[in-house]
Amino acid sequence: MLHCLNPTCTHPQNLDGHETCQNCGQPLIGILRHRYHIIKPLGQGGFGITYLAEDLERFNETCVVKQLTYQSPDSPGAQQKVQDLFTQEAQQLFQLGTHPQIPNLLAYFHEGGRQYLVQEFIEGHNLFQELKREGIYNETKLRHFLSSILPVLDYIHTQGVIHRDLKPHNIMHRSADDRYFLIDFGVTKQVNTQETVGTVLGSEGYAAFEQLNDGRTYPASDLYSLGVTCFHFLTGHDPRSLQLQIGYSWTQNWQKHLSQPLSPQLISIIDTLLQIRLENRYTSVEEVLKDLEQSPTSPTTVDVATNSPFIHQTNKLELANTADHTAVLFEPDPPAPPVAHPLSSPLETTQFEVATLDLLGQIQSIQTLSAQRYIEELDNGLSLNMVAIPAGSFLMGSPLTEISRQRFEGPQHPVTVPAFHMGQFLITQAQWQAIAALPAVNQDLLPDPSQFKGEDRPVEGISWLDAVEFCDRLTRKLNRLYRLPSEAEWEYACRANTTAPFHCGENLTSDHANLHGMKTYRSAPRGQYRNQTTPVGSFRPNAFGLYDMHGNVWEWCADHWHPSYQDAPVDGSIWFAQENVIADNAPHPWRGGSWYDAPASCRAAYRTFADADFKSSNLGLRVVSPVLSP
């Protein structure tokens, strides 16, 4: 089997005997530099592709070949700068490889317009894989891990190197001699970067606040990442899920996720590692080792999360898209970390009318309800209304008896959702334009992507990546965490304590939502097909006070797409895919239906999906903001 080395090839495997790739047409190179025979790919990330290979000049010794991909600059001078930086970083890796717990750099070279690193192959598993296979750590195992990896971290820091991406995936364990190895330094991410100051390098959930805020890193930044890694090992709880939901505030009460007691000494060490503020954290590995070497006292009693779904759901992973994102950020004085802090704007009461429809889609009753909300002021008189969604439980998905039910709407299962805030309206074009004008976090945004123009119409024509970038900029501007809803949060908010196919009852027509009125549900009469979006809030809301939960435009959700609810989380959290099935453009779900869709596709339980870069004139977003539990 020959593997195409074109990093953009979607089907790189080719049978032996072919000279060109049968998919992309590129020449097939089975042996690099007339020496390194490619056996198979091992993994792929934002840096490029890693291959298992054998060195034909060293008795077919197994090695690892990393093919670096980067955004090629236009000017020859810029290309030369990238090559020089690559050489510089390769030299740094060569020097670090003298440590017995860092893979040796065996070679680096350019071939076919691409850059390659050849490193020692470590026989073993990364600690993320090991955690999934063997389960969470106890205190003895964690202390053994720290005693082994801290001296390696101390070594690279004394060499003037900061890892910048410390996490379980980047630590290997060789069981033959019980040795831990530090791998995947920021070298390839650095080469991918055209700016070195104010550039974010690191993984969401593991990176320290100062690292994500303005791109600056210190030895203490690695120590924060080590603290997060320890938390992951002790609890099985994915820190990226926590960060997406409540920002850095999870570090303030991390102990509530423990399923076993720890000594006060180890709790104190992890507490210090996890300090959000740089000045409150350990400043050196030496300080950590000093505390670790002291005799531990007896374990302290903590309220352990024996019913936490994360104890047995260690396969739920982060949005890997974000793990390798890099971005040039502005550099103001660091603000307070964006967490779900108490509201700066007081809650106010809003009243609204809610209609209940019968089987024919006719109004059966109208009642006046109220909800609590807060209002964030944007620029130029714009505001963002956020409704308080109470905590509660519901049955997610549809029953087998529901008309037009699809197989991916089940199995129906109970979910308990914590309180949160949700946008009362879809994000409008005016709001989008205001936030799109702010400095980028991870990518650029088109200021006016919508097909159907109107300041008070919903923004559409945006990808999932665009929606995430919008939330990131909104978070930075308002100093409060904003994100896309999980599918569970979205459906819970849409239903608003109802169980029918629609929040308004057993049927829905175009008199009560912007949908394809010429298509009907059950025995309702045909209605109007507007063939375009309508201003947000044109129809009555649901019982939580949320408008346009059915129709107008679909709404992106944060989760990865899963074709079934089998093994879905039951706590309302974002459901991530397993690492080995995550691609850079992995699909994500949309909910709610649109102006183009039949009522059946607008049901509360209906779900569909698209790749992260997909855009459509019937696809937009609504934001949520978590509530910090006391």
What CA–CA distance (Å, rounded) separates 581 from 306?
Answer: 29
Phi, psi of 479 (to 5 degrees): 55, 40
Please give the pLDDT value at position 327: 26
What CA–CA distance (Å, rounded) separates 171 from 460?
Answer: 41
Beta bridge partners of 416: 393
The whole-model pTM stands at 0.57
Q: What is the pLDDT of residues 392-446, one digit of tens each?
A: 999 999 999 999 999 999 999 999 999 999 999 999 999 999 999 999 988 999 9
Identify the residue with better confidence: 159 or 492.
492
Please give the pLDDT value at position 259: 86
Q: Is the pLDDT of residue 318 over 70?
A: no
Name the CATH topology of 2-120: Phosphorylase Kinase; domain 1 (3.30.200)
Between 137-146, 202-211, 609-618, the lowest mean confidence (pLDDT) is in 202-211
Please give the pLDDT value at position 4: 78
Q: Where are the alpha helices (DSSP H) in 97-138?
A: 127-134
What CA–CA distance (Å, rounded) separates 68 from 115?
Answer: 5
Tokens of 151: 């001296």
Q: Where are the alpha helices (DSSP H) in 326-395?
A: none
Please give the pLDDT value at position 70: 59
Residue 268: which pLDDT band, with cuts at 50, 70 and 90? very high
Name the CATH topology of 392-418+427-626: paralog of FGE (formylglycine-generating enzyme) (3.90.1580)
What CA–CA distance (Å, rounded) separates 94 from 40?
Answer: 24
Residue whose tokens read 């999870």:
250
What CA–CA distance (Å, rounded) separates 372 from 386?
Answer: 9
Set 165, 222, 324, 466: catalytic member: 165
Residue whose tokens read 């970038």:
469
The answer to the question of whether 519 is labelled as a binding residue is no
**Mean per-residue pLDDT for 209-226?**
89
Name the CATH topology of 125-323: Transferase(Phosphotransferase); domain 1 (1.10.510)
Q: What is the pLDDT of residues 439-464, one digit of tens each?
A: 998 899 999 999 999 999 999 999 99
Q: Is the pLDDT of residue 302 over 50?
A: no
Residue type, 139: E
Where along the chain do its domains lie?
A: 2-120, 125-323, 392-418+427-626
Please give the pLDDT value at position 398: 97
Annotate 134-150 with b (16+ C-beta within 10 A) or e (fewer). eebbebeebbebbebbb
CB-based contact 537:425 (threshold 8 Å):
yes
Region for residue 236 given its phi and psi (left: phi exceeds 0; alpha: psi -120 to 50; beta: otherwise): left
What's the Cα-to-Cα distance from 366 to each of 341, 356, 357, 454, rounded to whole Å?
A: 36, 6, 9, 30
Residue 180 gets which letter from DSSP?
E
What CA–CA distance (Å, rounded) separates 220 from 162?
Answer: 9
Q: What is the pLDDT of residues 70-100, one digit of tens each?
A: 555 455 665 666 677 677 778 888 888 889 9
Is 165 marked active-site? yes
Q: What is the pLDDT of residues 340-394, one digit of tens each?
A: 444 556 789 999 999 999 999 999 999 999 999 999 999 888 999 999 999 999 9
Between 307-311, 405-409, 582-586, 604-608, the lowest mean confidence (pLDDT) is in 307-311
Identify the residue with better confidence: 108 or 13.
108
